[in-house]
Structure 1
Amino acid sequence: MVVLNDRPVVPLSPAISQALAECERTDRTFQLVTPATSRLTLPLRASKAQWLVHDDGYYEGLTGRPMHWNGTAFVPLPEARDYAPTYTTPPADPIGSQLVLTFQVRHAPEGVLGAHTEKLMRLITGDPPKGWGTTEPLQHRWAPEDLTAHISSTATSRVITIGASSRPAMATSDFSPLVSPAAGMAEMTTLTIGYTDDEDPPITQLPSFIDLVSADHPLTALLAQLIPGRPDLTTEPRWTGSSAPIGLASAGAYTGPPGFSRKRLGPPDAPITWFHLGDGYSPEYWQRHQDLLTHLRRTP
């Protein structure tokens, strides 16, 4: 399915959400075509939409790979040997950074959903979330009880949460029932906070934030990274730089591996171990992340 949209900022609107759902039901690819002057919102970028950019030809907005129309769909240009020229053109506005926290939680059947997102937003931005919904603009004022009731009563598992602070903050959360015989809900959330080029994200404070969030209901895991990008959290079809890891938190009291700085977090009966990986500005530390994952998978 091909959809053309020439808005300056393209959101995950109800129409696009319905088209994505139809493509998933019918095993098709959703291809969104915009001009090079358009930007995507964070929820649309995180969806399964394939972004095509029209600018003296076509290219993928997130990869820069040149594309062409073959009569049925947009496919890679066979003779292309480089990125599309517009993709490698520097953005017009200064690029800041986006602090990205991806975490997992296991909720009991009677648990209230959204509490971890609310606590992290309060700690990092100073304010609770403003609203939640399934498409943009968001439809509901923030109320974890209402969000919990929605997830319990509908097949829609993904929700979007937006912050109330002047600092841009947005989360996308996926919920799914735990596999039997376990009861309850599994949550996977990605929280993104925007910073300008002259601001420093609170990298050194992350362990204390995770400790506070896990006091009542510990996280299962959390990955923190820093991504170069627009402070308003929208995405241009241009290269802005590589992401870099900050740290990984994993449920359990780990003593290894050697060479990794560790910190014990969470309550004594449900400990979490924070592993420091990098400064958030050095992409080469992703290898440390891989080495750590390999160790954790082998550890009982």
Structure 2
Amino acid sequence: MTQTTGGADVLTTQAMVVLNDRPVVPLTPALSQALSECESTNRILQLVTPTTSRLTIPLRASRTHWLVHDGNGYYEGLTGRPMQWSGTAFVPDPDARDYAPTYRTPPTAPAGSQLVLTFQARHNPTAPLGAHTEKLMRLLTGEPPKGWGLTEPVQNPWSPEHFTTCATNSTSSRLITIGASTRPAMATSDFSPLVPPASGTAEMTTLTIGYTEDEDPPISQLPSLIDLLSADHPITALLAQLTPGRPDLTTEPRWTGSSAPIGLASAGVYTGPPGFSRKRLGPPDAPLTWFHLGDGYSPEYWQRHQDLLTHLRRTP
């Protein structure tokens, strides 16, 4: 192992290891830079925290490998898989036969639910970006976004113009948007050029909204909300799911439960497959079909999601 003079605590040929004991660990500029360095040197960034730390959505969604030290050893914060140090990186413990004991302990705070909407859209070269996220935040929280940035805490007040400029000119394709409402809301968006001969920008955004354990997410209202979104801002696909978790949108290194699907919207008009409830959404020139998958509380319905994707891929 090699001690470093920069942001890393340990540097090897395979990994950059960073220790952090903050209660909430965000995607800071230092960690963002570490991720870039790891990508350019073919290393993995391994973040080591105590069991009392939580990760924000942007850091969890990054390529950071989260390790937790609980006194008995190390385990993956998102899976509970026991890990050990190999001399060059943290690797799975070959002798482990179960999840790490701490991972199986109850969360430190009541788990609510997180409504997760992942959508795709295509934009022409002159279109402003971020409008889909702004519209969905208004519909689901009653307020527009508060700010945006490449790292946390976000430094920029919400401005579609500045957001678009950064998305099209920055070397980083991922942007973070936070809500202004008292209801927690956060989006991570990835932008990339459309494949020639098409011109413009492809967008993939995941918007997460937090709800306490005594609140009901607007599951039954989602088709009408997606219809309102697509009336002004067409999308090519949207997947809605519900995930047990903290309403503040941070993640503990403990098991909180499995996500479950709600529905999938796909561009076009479909008559199948059999056994799926469908609803026509969107304007006539950009129609969507909403497929109901489940109630958001039944993980076994992910099989319906897979069956639907298989059908859609085979449909001309």
TM-score normalised to structure 2 length: 0.94
Contact 2:244 2:258 survives alignment (8 Å): yes
2-side partners of 1:269 and 1:130: how far apart? Answer: 32
Tell me how large the CA RMSD over aligned residues is: 0.6
User: Which one-letter code corresponds to 2:148 in the other structure?
Assistant: W
Aligned ranges 1:142-157 → 2 under 5 Å: 142-157=158-173
The residue number in structure 1 matching 2:10 is none
> SS of the counterpart of 1:37?
coil
The residue number in structure 2 matching 1:287 is 303
Whether 2:58 is the aligned partner of 1:43: answer yes
2-side partners of 1:269 and 1:10: how far apart? Answer: 44
Deviation of residue 282 (structure 1)?
Answer: 0.1
2-side partners of 1:217 and 1:164: how far apart? Answer: 21
Count of aligned pairs between the two proteins: 300
The residue number in structure 2 matching 1:34 is 49
Find 1:17's aligned residue among 2, 7, 32. Answer: 32
The residue number in structure 2 matching 1:177 is 193
The residue number in structure 1 matching 2:293 is 277
Deviation of residue 46 (structure 1)?
Answer: 0.4
Runs of 4+ with >2 A deviation? none
Unaligned runs of 5+ in 2: 1-15
1-side partners of 2:312 and 2:211: how far apart? Answer: 32
2-side partners of 1:11 and 1:42: how far apart? Answer: 8
- Once the two structures are superposed, what CA deviation does each residue of 1:238-291 show, in whole Å capped at 9, x if it has no partner? 000000000000000111111100000000111000000000000000000000
The residue number in structure 2 matching 1:252 is 268
> SS of the counterpart of 2:218?
coil
User: Which one-letter code corresponds to 1:231 in the other structure?
Assistant: P
Whether 2:216 is the aligned partner of 1:200: answer yes
TM-score normalised to structure 1 length: 0.99
Whether 2:283 is the aligned partner of 1:263: answer no
> SS of the counterpart of 1:201?
coil
User: Which one-letter code corresponds to 1:142 in the other structure?
Assistant: W
Deviation of residue 218 (structure 1)?
Answer: 1.1
Deviation of residue 217 (structure 1)?
Answer: 2.7
2-side partners of 1:151 and 1:93: how far apart? Answer: 36
Identity %: 81
Deviation of residue 139 (structure 1)?
Answer: 1.2
2-side partners of 1:289 and 1:110: how far apart? Answer: 34
